[in-house]
């Protein structure tokens, strides 16, 4: 039987799987472009296909501002992050003036990968290639090429392959390949597209919405890694809706009631919702305890802001802490999730701070582990042959529709920033 809306046309999801050449075609996503109350979710191949994954790495992760870490991880010039984005290894650090810099993790000599992913601090203010010891400063300039320049080259006879118009080697022409890097609040973003618009355009009104929180001053106080045997988009879509809370999170709904949730999103590449007010802690935990940031105004004083920043990071900003989930897609069905608990220094001015941080960490881990179980079941389900997509509930799942259409835009080569609600309403 065909799916029907109350006042719209019959909608029939595609019955046949798509080939790799179709993933960049608008026609492939026709039913997902309908208004949310009539739309069908993304094609299952978006979560299962290796071909889709490859194109997505290029068109989404290779052509967007991607969150890669937190500013407190690279506070000083020798601090470093080595991250993977769109299949590319990238070095993020600061130069001697404290400016963020990012470069491809490849030596200009013979293409050696220079730093490993677990590198967090350089031995000196230089990046050294382990192969032939070429070195680069923190601005990416090549500073040393030991035993490379041949000062007596003119005395050697020309061989049959030599070109008479070849330019002499000059190390100033062989600096590291730069990557666009920027920060907002406590987050660091990079963009592999050298012609990318500024980060501010992608973020839209988020900086304005969070201006009262002084997020640039918040620091990491706890971190933990989780693994999902599921597509990163399913992790994100689970975060974007509170529809599942009563059945998956019996502890969470006691401090963040479903009836207290509403959409909270404006112009920008993000989805957002709010819970207001935040309920008191229970015996199984909660979000209260640490002192809130001084100077929060209006609804910020008693609200939880839950934002998924396109394409792969969630920030849950409470008055006294923030929980961050950075999803790193490794394959269509495997995602590593880095999580950080951050606080403003003011919120740590308490004798009970460590105990409160332990409680928050335990509570967020409980919620996250519950999500892992159900998201992996969704991954198993969308992989089944008869399933060709489902319908969305406008009241709870409009953010999913918004996010999925951002993905479709990127996959089909459309660059646009979605608009949002004109005012904050339930």
140 and 234 housed in the same domain: no
Look at 5-14, 149-158, 399-408 and tell me which has the smallest mean pLDDT.
Answer: 5-14
Residues 165 and 222 in one domain: no
Q: What share of the chain is helix, strand, coil (3-state, %, to 5)?
A: 30, 25, 45
Domain ranges, residue 402 = 214-411
State the CATH number of the domain containing residue 223. Answer: 3.90.380.10
171 and 218: one domain? Answer: no
Domain with residue 122: its CATH number is 2.102.10.10
Instruction: For residues 62 and 57, give the distance between their C-alpha atoms in angstroms, rounded to a whole number.
Output: 6
82: left (phi over 0), alpha (psi -120 to 50) or beta: beta
Please indicate, yes or no, if residue 194 is contained in any of the structural domains.
no
Residue at 303 is within a domain: yes
Q: Return the pLDDT at 14.
A: 45
Q: What angle do CA 340, 342, 345 make, to 5 degrees?
A: 155
* Whether residues 240 and 165 fall in one domain: no
**Residue with the larger pLDDT of the pair 1 and 121:** 121
Instruction: Evaluate whether residue 235 is within a structural domain.
Output: yes
Contact between 324 and 315 under an 8 Å Cβ cutoff? The reply is yes
Check whether 346 has a pLDDT greater than 60: yes
416: in domain: no
Residue 58: predicted pLDDT: 97
Q: Could you give the CA distance from residue 41 to residue 198 in angstroms, rounded to a whole number?
A: 30
Residues 108, 223 share a domain: no
> What's the gap between Cα 1 and its chain centre?
39
- CB-count exposure of residue 63 (10 Å: 0-12, 13-18, 19+): middle
Residue 94 lies in a domain: yes
CA 317 to chain centre: 16
| Cα–Cα distance for residue pair 55/198, rounded to 1 Å | 23
Average pLDDT over residues 197-201: 97
**Which residue, 157, 181, 205, sits at the end of a domain?**
181
Cross-sheet strand order for the sheet of 126-128: 126-128, 135-137, 142-144
Do 73 and 134 lie in a common domain?
yes
Query: Are 245 and 390 in the same domain?
Result: yes
Distance of alpha carbon 272 from its chain centroid, rounded? 15
Look at residue 13 and tell me if it is in a domain: no
Grade residue 155 by pLDDT with cuts at 50, 70 and 90: low
Question: Model confidence at 164, in pLDDT bands (50, 70, 90)?
Answer: low
**How many structural domains compose the chain?**
2
Kindly state whether residues 132 and 278 are assigned to the same domain. Answer: no
Q: Do 172 and 70 belong to one domain? A: yes
pTM above 0.85, yes or no: yes
CA-CA distance, 350 to 357, in Å (whole number)? 11
Q: Based on the fold, state whether residues 314 and 175 are members of the same structural domain.
A: no
Is 222 found in the same domain as 136?
no
Check whether 15 has a pLDDT greater than 50: no
Task: Identify whether 4 is part of a domain.
Answer: no
The backbone torsions φ and ψ at residue 236, rounded to the nearest 5 degrees and listed phi first, read -65, -45
Report if residue 203 sits inside a domain: no
Same domain, 256 and 392: yes
């Amino acid at each position: 039987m065909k799916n029907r809306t109350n006042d719209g046309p019959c909608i029939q999801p595609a019955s046949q799987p798509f080939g790799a050449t179709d993933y960049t075609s608008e026609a492939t996503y026709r039913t997902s472009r309908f208004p949310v109350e009539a739309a069908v979710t993304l094609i299952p191949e978006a979560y299962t296909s290796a071909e889709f994954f490859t194109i997505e790495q290029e068109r989404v992760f290779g052509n967007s501002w991607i969150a890669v870490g937190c500013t407190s991880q690279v506070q000083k010039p020798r601090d470093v992050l080595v991250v993977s984005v769109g299949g590319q290894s990238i070095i993020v650090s600061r130069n001697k003036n404290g400016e963020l810099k990012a470069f491809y993790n490849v030596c200009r000599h013979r293409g050696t990968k220079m730093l490993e992913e677990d590198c967090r601090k350089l031995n000196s203010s230089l990046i050294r290639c382990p192969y032939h010891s070429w070195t680069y400063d923190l601005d990416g300039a090549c500073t040393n090429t030991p035993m490379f320049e041949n000062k007596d080259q003119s005395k050697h006879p020309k061989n049959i392959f030599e070109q008479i118009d070849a330019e002499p080697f000059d190390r100033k022409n062989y600096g590291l390949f730069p990557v666009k890097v920027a920060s907002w609040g406590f987050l660091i973003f990079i963009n592999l597209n050298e012609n990318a618009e500024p980060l501010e355009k992608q973020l839209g009104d988020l900086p304005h919405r969070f201006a009262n929180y002084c997020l640039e001053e918040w620091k990491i106080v706890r971190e933990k890694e989780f693994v999902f045997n599921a597509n990163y988009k399913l992790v994100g879509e689970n975060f974007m809706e509170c529809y599942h809370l009563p059945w998956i999170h019996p502890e969470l709904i006691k401090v963040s009631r479903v009836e207290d949730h509403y959409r909270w999103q404006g112009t920008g590449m993000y989805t957002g919702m709010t819970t207001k007010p935040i309920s008191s802690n229970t015996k199984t935990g909660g979000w209260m305890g640490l002192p809130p940031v001084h100077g929060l105004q209006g609804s910020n004083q008693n609200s939880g802001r839950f934002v998924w920043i396109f394409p792969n990071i969630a920030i849950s900003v409470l008055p006294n802490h923030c929980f961050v989930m950075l999803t790193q897609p490794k394959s269509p069905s495997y995602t590593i999730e880095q999580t950080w608990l951050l606080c403003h220094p003011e919120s740590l001015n308490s004798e009970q701070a460590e105990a409160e941080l332990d409680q928050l960490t335990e509570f967020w881990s409980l919620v996250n582990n519950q999500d892992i179980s159900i998201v992996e079941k969704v991954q198993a389900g969308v992989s089944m042959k008869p399933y060709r997509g489902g319908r969305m509930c406008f009241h709870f799942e409009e953010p999913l529709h918004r996010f999925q259409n951002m993905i479709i835009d990127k996959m089909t080569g459309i660059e646009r920033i979605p608009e949002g609600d004109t005012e904050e309403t339930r």
